[in-house]
């Protein structure tokens, strides 16, 4: 762990350092370019004319792009009493099923722009209301800067710093409004408290290969699930990933990735309404796979996607339940989901998702507590249909059945109607 941190700090220092060293080289290149421009200008009117078209500047273009996402929903749950805990796990507040009735979801506001030739910046905040008695709360979802290719890092490399939905699995990098279902699958709810957007820095490198291959690594404060509770001094978490992808033919493509996040917390990660606290070392391994097929070649009209992610979490530390004392714990649990979404035509899509958690064995001292899975594996099944009017508006219906604990009394049938719309800047869609 220490060596690894050292390696990452070294890498980052190295790239920042090389930037200064290569400044000389850069000067040469600028001179070369200037010579070329002179050459071009000397060629006379015809050739210079063409380039003037790309220099048009409008006053407003300096304002950042602004995008707004509005979403609202109606939830109906068959289980009227409080939701049962996910058997065998202690989860954070955002991993819970949410509120019943009519409500606003996260309303998001995003600003993004190139800062100058070398940096790009983006900030997203969401306004949420967690209960009828609480005030509206501003959640800082993302606020990061990223180097552009003009930064003169080696080709294909970029550095991102701040707070962001970091590279981990398929869904984490995407904002919830881009999800195919109204809620996130169990492993995201249990391990990530919905999503991982810690504060930190990540370096990524796309290899110059024929197929798509990207590797990356990062270091983070450790103040978010899956770690949470940093000591505030050293980096609380580190990560690494590698992924590959390509086309099978012109209408089929795939992507496969492996990811790891590792961190140690000292002040504890709280779960299940702060009753259960974990302190120690957490390592989360994730692998994701996605396949998509356009049966007619045109994804606008028909598309089939298959997506699966497998999570494994190793915890080595202590669990403290209701301040009842520290219990040693060292175990590995698993969580996974698989989903498929089919687009019937430009307007209608349907989807199916199954997710499941597999609990670890617990030491004697924890038998009978919330952390004791008693051999039960919590599951969740979701069926959805959605209607898309344009790229900017969508209405979704979803039926979800959670069985988070054993027994027929723990079956929760959930029905959701949701709208998601976006206003303003037309953001590009990540794969």
Partner 1 sequence: MLKKLGALIIIQFIFSTSLYANDKLNIFACEPEWKSLAEEIGGDMVKAFSATHAKQDPHYIRARPSLISKIRRADLIFCSGAGLEVGWMPILVQKARSQVQPGNIGYFMASKYTPVIDIPNEIDRGHGDVHPEGNPHVHLDPHNILLVAKELNRRLSIIDSKNKSFYQEQYNNFVDKWQNSILRWNKEIESIKGKRIIIHHKSFDYLFNWLQLNEIASLEVKPGIPPTASHLKNILENTNKNSVDIIVVSPYDPTEGALWLSEKTQIPVVTLPYTIGGNEESNNLIALFDSSIKILQNALYDK
| Span interacting with partner 1, options 87-95, 184-192, 339-347, 398-406, rule CB under 8 A | 339-347
Q: Which is nearer to partner 1, 180 or 370 (CB)?
A: 180
CB of residue 237 to partner 1, shortest distance in Å? 14
- Indicate whether 245 belongs to the interface with partner 1 (CB under 8 A): yes
Contacts with partner 1 in 140-169 (CB under 8 A)? 146, 148-150, 152, 155-156, 158
Q: Is 338 in the site for partner 1 (CB under 8 A)?
A: no
Closer to partner 1 by CB, 15 or 354: give it: 15
CB 261 within 8 A of CB 283: yes
What is the spatial distance between Cα 399 and Cα 383, in angstroms, rounded to a whole number? Answer: 5
Site for partner 1, residues 27 to 56, rule: CB under 8 A = 36, 40, 47, 50, 53-54
Is the Cβ of residue 215 or residue 365 nearer to partner 1 in the bound state?
215
Q: Which of these ranges, 131-139, 219-227, 357-365, 423-431, lies near partner 1 under the rule CB under 8 A?
A: 423-431
Question: Is residue 366 helix, strand or coil?
Answer: helix
Q: Which of residues 278-297 bind partner 1 (CB under 8 A)?
A: 283, 285, 292, 294, 296-297
Q: How many residues bind partner 1 (CB under 8 A)?
A: 61
Kindly provide the b/e burial profile for residues 393-429, where b requires at least 16 CB atoms within 10 angstroms of the residue's own CB. Answer: ebebebebebbbbeeeebebebebebbbbbeeeeeee
> How does DSSP classify residue 430?
P
Residue 289 sits at φ, ψ, to 5 deg, of -140, 140
Of 167, 174, 164, 170, the C-alpha closest to 187 is 170
How far apart, in Å, do the first and last CA atoms of the chain sit? 32
Q: Which two tokens stand for residue 426?
A: 């037309």
Radius of gyration of the chain (CA): 24
Q: Is there binding between residue 214 and partner 1 (CB under 8 A)?
A: yes
Among the listed residues 145, 147, 193, 202, the one whose alpha carbon sits nearest the alpha carbon of residue 172: 193
Among positive and negative, which fits the CA dihedral 50, 55, 57, 63? positive
Contact pick of 79, 293, 299, 338 for partner 1 (by CB under 8 A): 299
By CB under 8 A, tell whether 21 contacts partner 1: no
| Interface contacts to partner 1, rule CB under 8 A | 4, 36, 40, 47, 50, 53-54, 120, 146, 148-150, 152, 155-156, 158, 206-215, 240, 242, 244-247, 250, 253-255, 258, 260, 283, 285, 292, 294, 296-301, 345-347, 389-392, 423, 426, 428-431
């Amino acid at each position: 762990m220490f060596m690894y941190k050292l390696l990452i700090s070294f890498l980052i220092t190295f790239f920042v350092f090389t930037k200064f060293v290569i400044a000389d080289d850069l000067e040469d290149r600028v001179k070369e370019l200037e010579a070329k421009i002179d050459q071009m200008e000397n060629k006379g009117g015809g050739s210079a004319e063409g380039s003037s078209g790309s220099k048009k500047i409008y006053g407003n273009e300096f304002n950042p792009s602004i995008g707004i996402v509005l979403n609202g929903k109606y939830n109906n749950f068959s289980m009227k009493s409080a939701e049962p805990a996910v058997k065998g796990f202690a989860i954070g507040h955002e991993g819970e099923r949410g509120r019943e009735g009519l409500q606003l979801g996260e309303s998001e506001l995003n600003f993004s722009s190139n800062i100058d030739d070398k940096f790009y910046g983006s900030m997203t905040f969401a306004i949420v209301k967690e209960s009828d008695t609480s005030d509206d709360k501003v959640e800082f979802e993302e606020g990061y800067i990223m180097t552009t290719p003009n930064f003169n890092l080696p080709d294909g490399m970029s550095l991102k710093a701040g707070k962001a939905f970091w590279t981990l699995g398929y869904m984490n990098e995407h904002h919830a409004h881009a999800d195919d279902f109204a809620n996130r699958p169990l492993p995201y709810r249990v391990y990530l408290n919905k999503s991982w957007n810690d504060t930190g820095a990540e370096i990524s490198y796309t290899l110059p290969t024929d197929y798509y291959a990207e590797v990356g690594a990062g270091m983070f404060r450790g103040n978010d699930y899956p770690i949470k509770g940093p000591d505030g001094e050293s980096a609380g978490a580190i990560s690494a990933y590698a992924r590959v992808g390509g086309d099978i033919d012109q209408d089929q493509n795939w992507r496969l990735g492996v990811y790891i996040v590792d961190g140690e917390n000292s002040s504890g990660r709280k779960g299940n309404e702060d009753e259960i606290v974990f302190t120690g070392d957490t390592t989360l391994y994730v692998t994701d796979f996605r396949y998509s097929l356009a049966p007619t070649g045109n994804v606008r009209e028909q598309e089939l996607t298959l997506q699966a992610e497998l999570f494994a979490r190793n915890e080595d530390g202590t669990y403290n339940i209701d301040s009842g004392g520290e219990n040693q714990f060292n175990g590995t649990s698993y969580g996974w989901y698989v989903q498929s979404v089919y687009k019937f035509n430009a307007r209608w899509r349907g989807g199916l998702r199954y997710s499941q958690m597999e609990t670890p064995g617990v030491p004697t001292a924890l038998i009978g507590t919330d952390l004791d899975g008693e051999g039960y594996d919590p599951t969740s099944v979701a069926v959805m249909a959605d209607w898309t009017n344009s790229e900017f508006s969508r209405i979704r219906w979803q039926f979800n059945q959670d069985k988070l604990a054993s027994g027929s009394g723990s079956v929760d049938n959930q029905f959701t109607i949701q709208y998601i719309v976006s206003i303003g800047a037309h953001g590009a869609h990540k794969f």
